[in-house]
Amino acid sequence: MYLLLEMGRRTLYHTPEEKQKANRVKSKQHYDKDKKAICMRRSIRYRDEVQKLDRSFPPSGHPDYWCERAERVASMFTTLIGESSFHFIDNLYRQYIIDHNNNTFRDASIQVGNLLKQVRRAQEDILQDKGVGKELARCEEISASILNVLNALEDVLCHGMSGFGDVVESHSRRELLYQVLPSS
């Protein structure tokens, strides 16, 4: 007399259709839970793709292509932050106070991070094509101003991860990076 014992984990799905149905339910639950973040990432990706389609630049073999590209990024950065980096981040802080949502700073840091990535690419290619000179110095200047804003955004975002109260308290004590650094 033999007693057969099943070993291992019990079978959850007996047919491929059951497994497919369970995966659809799981995917729908994930999408419903994170719909806002997913839509935000998709819209940012779409905007980036639309910007890549901009054909107003000379071909990349043109000697001044990367210098013009860096200046274009500087123009986009200036348009994004407005009159000063302090006012830009302070307006984001005011929005954060209203909606208590860290995505306010996260979205802005993604946009600024994309600009930094573009200007660093231009910086690399300027260094490769033209070497050290006034073009590279201008590109480094643009990169530094974008990096300062990105660091200030990430500072506020880190405080936001500690909690809403930490952001408000640090702001009231003027300890946030954007409040301490000179405005650009």
pLDDT tens profile 85-97: 778 888 888 888 8
CA dihedral 120, 80, 148, 117 (to 10 degrees): -20
Domain count across the chain: 1
% of the chain residues with pLDDT over 70:
86
pLDDT tens profile 46-61: 877 776 655 454 555 5
Rounded Cα distance, 112 and 60, in Å: 23
Q: Which residue has the tokens 């930490």?
A: 166
In a domain, 9, yes or no: no
In a domain, 39, yes or no: no
pLDDT tens profile 107-130: 888 888 888 888 888 788 777 777
CB 149, CB 50: distance < 8 Å: no
* Number of C-beta neighbours around residue 29 at 10 A: 10
Give the domain extent around 73.
60-180
